């Protein structure tokens, strides 16, 4: 069994990043595409698995966005974002939005939220969605944590969600 030091920063051996990542890969997570509209009304989006519920009252969720993401400036500029919870079988779309390519939305069916400002809703590919207004942004290492207040939501398909586990995609059986 692999182990790593968990001692504090006062002269201790730092955590081995490879083992840290290996441990985290054993935890299954849902796959979402976070979208926003940047300057010039240009849509932006990225795939993440760091998404969770924070509070029911008020309706708060959390997403973590890498500091190197091309979507980060659009989220900040717009002040809101949409979380598209991908349906099982949408692995290709998840990989597309995980890339740095410029044409992520080419050929993808999407529409603007009905009730609130937010990023594109991926109607054909998301099992459900949440449109969020940024409540807080917190710097955390090489990521930004966004806590968003859900102001619009919808369940679009009765499909199970797409999951990510052990560095690969999976779905509920």
Per-residue pLDDT of 55-73, as tens digits, reads: 999 999 999 999 999 999 9
pLDDT classification of 156: cutoffs 50, 70, 90: confident
Task: Quote the mean pLDDT of the chain.
Answer: 92
Each domain of the chain, given as residue ranges in start order, spans: 17-162
Closest CA to 97 of 148, 31, 145, 157: 31
The CATH number of 17-162, from 3.90.340.10, 1.10.579.10, 2.30.110.10, 3.30.1360.120, is 2.30.110.10
């Amino acid at each position: 069994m692999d182990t790593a030091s968990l001692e504090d920063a006062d002269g201790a051996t730092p955590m081995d990043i490879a083992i840290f990542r290996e441990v985290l890969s054993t935890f299954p997570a849902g796959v979402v595409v976070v979208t926003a509209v940047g300057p010039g009304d240009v849509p932006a989006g990225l795939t993440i698995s760091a998404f969770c519920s924070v509070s029911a009252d008020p309706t708060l969720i959390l997403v973590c966005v890498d500091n190197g993401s091309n979507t980060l400036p659009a989220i900040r500029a717009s002040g809101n974002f949409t979380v598209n919870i991908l349906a099982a079988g949408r692995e290709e779309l998840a990989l597309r939005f995980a890339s740095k390519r410029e044409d992520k939305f080419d050929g993808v069916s999407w529409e603007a939220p009905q009730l609130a400002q937010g990023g594109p809703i991926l109607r054909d590919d998301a099992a459900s969605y949440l449109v969020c207004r940024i409540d807080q942004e917190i710097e955390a290492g090489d990521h930004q944590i966004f806590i968003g207040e859900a102001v619009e939501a919808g369940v679009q398909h009765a499909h199970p969600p797409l999951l990510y586990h052990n560095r690969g995609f999976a779905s509920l059986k």
